[in-house]
Structure 1
Amino acid sequence: MKLYRPLSMLLAALALAVNVPAAAAERIPVLASFSILGDVVANVGGDRIAVSTLVGPDEDAHVFQPAPDDIKAVSRARLVVVNGLGFEGWMERLAQSANYRGPIVVASAGIKARERVGEDEDEHGHDHAAAHEHHGKDDPHAWQDPQNVVVYTRNIVTALAKLDPAGAAVYRKNGDAYIAKLQDLDAWAARQFAQIPDAKRKVITSHDAFEYFGARYQVRFLAAQGVSTDSEPSAREIAALIRQIRTEKIKALFFENMSNPKLLQQIAREAGTAPGGKLYADALSKADGPAPDYLSLMRYNITQLLEKIRLN
């Protein structure tokens, strides 16, 4: 008996060593371009993947400059997930620098992009030429509509199932569960805004990141900057926006977590009003902030918007 007991104990130990740490050690490295997208990927992939992001919480993808560590992160990934719609103008060069040969998934594939109204300016007279150089004519902020994130989720499920067929059922189950949460969020948001008269649904933001949100919930967003934070509004545009704030008595003014608030603060002072607080537009908050994941981000933004819109 003494000869068999050590052997059985050894076999049990080996089984434990194989089964327990393997899941963590063999997680598939997946790289997402920015924090919001990384959260969606993590919800689909669960314990089978290890997600990292290039542009982290409270960081601005519009002005992102890849560093050597980012090149290494791309080269280590087995799957790269991007937003698309021109949002990551730096991604192609970064993939080439990393000699990346794996799949690059465009999460927004299949979404009808919202276009800029005019070639150089929108219906409010804002000059978007600088933004066009960065993004093209499409507005890339599709995640501001939860129904678009449903599309993101399905595209990510498909990509992960193709990369890892053994986990396909897990990805589908996780994706379905996450889509149910997105549908609940969307229904809740629609109910909240339905209680607000159309005339009150007017908001000023730092840059033009909420067109999809506005179209979904019938909220009119005006912005000091274009779709990219690297665009600079002219003095004429700022003056026109200030006049509009005064004329329409708009009280809902918000800066964004990844933007410099100085411009909006200046506009608020000259318009005789005060910024209403912070919205999370293109990035999550840190883990201890109010928007550490996409669902929390949307609920936080909607709550903040409703509070100020009621004052209009």
Structure 2
Amino acid sequence: MQSRRTLLKSATALVAALSLAAPAIAETNEPLAVVATFSILGDMVERIGGDHVAVTTLVGPDGDAHVYQPTPAAARAVSEAEVLVVNGLDFEGWLDRLIDASDFNGARVVAAEAVEPIAYEDDHEEHTEAESHDHDDHDHEEAVEAATHDHDDHHDHHAEAGHDHHHHGAFDPHAWQSLENAVVYVDTITAALAQADPDNAGTFYQNRASYVAEIEALDAEIREIVADLPASRRTIVTSHDAFQYFGRDYGLTFLAPQGLSTDSEASAQEVARLIEEIREHNISAVFVENIADSRLLEQIADETGATIGGTLYPGALSGPDGPAPTYLDMMRHNPTTLAQALGS
């Protein structure tokens, strides 16, 4: 009987010791703290990291990273992050200020670092006011002035709210609009997560393999969708110049009144030139964007008789109930929307 009591006491002590040790064990299995600058990168990190990452996304669904202003909460999140995933190519013009404010000392991962970027020459600001007068004899002058006036009001609102006018560098930063580049993004993110959390590297690479297979399958699906578009309907008008990678990959031409950033100015001459191209190419539909002010495109549609063909997602996912809650959903939604409006 004495020995049984001794065994019970020993067992009780062992259980108590293990229960006290459990929180310490759980702490070592906590997910990796990762901050992603915008929703597309956040979705990629979650797909690769799974339950082993805790992702904070700075610019969330339907948010415009072009005009984002970091908050104190964002600085705290970055300061606590073990990994910070950014796009690069001068896309996040506010990033350096945020990092300086947060005293970040983790691993900074540039997702687009290994892509081959498209060189970009922004001519939206090169036209002088004198040049714009060359279009005074067009009968659509008043519509152009009204459209650009409304658009200027939108920019004035940003300026009053404290938004910086951000201009991208020599390359188009919207590299995620190519699924081929997306594989590069995924490889870069996977390697960074594996280095930060080697115990779960095997899982990260397994998730990477299945994700890449889905990306490649979607690429084939999009090629079939685009193949049905007539040659006469492969010139597409959107709000800002964010789809050059997509156009390169699938043989489409994208035109826009604004440059690489939604915060860039659209001059009266640029709008007039775009109106002429819409008429010249008999473009029947133009497409607004979830992150851009739609008034300028609506004015252009009214002037040309084009319809609004739908909403495209250039650089931000939709909310969970929208048509583009994940990166793959977004990349499928855009060509499907184009085909529905232009295919007939």
TM-score, length basis structure 1: 0.90
Candidates 190, 196, 217, aligned match of 1:163: 196
- In structure 1, runs of 5+ residues without a counterpart are none
Larger Rg: 2
Structure 1 contact 23–47 (Cα < 8 Å) conserved: no
Show the counterpart of 2:282. Answer: 249
Show the counterpart of 1:111. Answer: 115
Superposition deviation, residue 12 in structure 1: 9.6
Show the counterpart of 1:96. Answer: 100
Superposition deviation, residue 22 in structure 1: 3.0
Show the counterpart of 2:159. Answer: none
Deviations 1:262-309 (A, max 9, x none): 111111101112211111111000111111100111111111011112
> What SS class does the counterpart of residue 62 from structure 1 fall into?
coil
Partners of 1:115 and 1:220 lie apart in 2 by: 16
Candidates 58, 65, 85, aligned match of 2:89: 85
Superposition deviation, residue 198 in structure 1: 2.6
Partners of 2:251 and 2:260 lie apart in 1 by: 19
Partners of 2:250 and 2:294 lie apart in 1 by: 25
Superposition deviation, residue 199 in structure 1: 2.6
Candidates 41, 51, 55, aligned match of 2:55: 51
Partners of 1:9 and 1:289 lie apart in 2 by: 54
What does 1:1-312 correspond to in 2, within 5 Å? Answer: 7=11, 11=15, 14=18, 18=22, 22=26, 26-116=30-120, 118=121, 120=123, 134-311=167-344
The code of the aligned residue for 1:83 comes to N
Superposition deviation, residue 196 in structure 1: 2.2
In structure 2, relative to structure 1, the CA distance for the partners of 1:78 and 1:270 (3 Å cut) is: same
Structure 2 contact 239–292 (Cα < 8 Å) conserved: yes
The code of the aligned residue for 2:249 comes to R
In structure 2, relative to structure 1, the CA distance for the partners of 1:303 and 1:9 (3 Å cut) is: farther
Deviations 1:227-262 (A, max 9, x none): 100101111111111121122111231111011111
Partners of 1:120 and 1:89 lie apart in 2 by: 20
Aligned length, in residue pairs:
302
The code of the aligned residue for 2:316 comes to A
Please report the RMSD computed on the Cα atoms of aligned residues, expressed in angstroms. 2.6
The code of the aligned residue for 2:215 comes to L
Partners of 1:268 and 1:231 lie apart in 2 by: 20
In structure 2, relative to structure 1, the CA distance for the partners of 1:8 and 1:113 (3 Å cut) is: same
Structure 2 contact 124–259 (Cα < 8 Å) conserved: no
The code of the aligned residue for 1:80 comes to L
Q: Which runs of 4+ in 1 moved over 2 A?
A: 1-19, 21-25, 118-122, 195-199
Superposition deviation, residue 119 in structure 1: 5.7
Deviations 1:209-242 (A, max 9, x none): 0000000001111111111001011111111111
Query: Which structure's relative contact order is higher, taking Cα pairs within 8 Å and 6+ residues apart?
Result: 2
> What SS class does the counterpart of residue 308 from structure 2 fall into?
coil
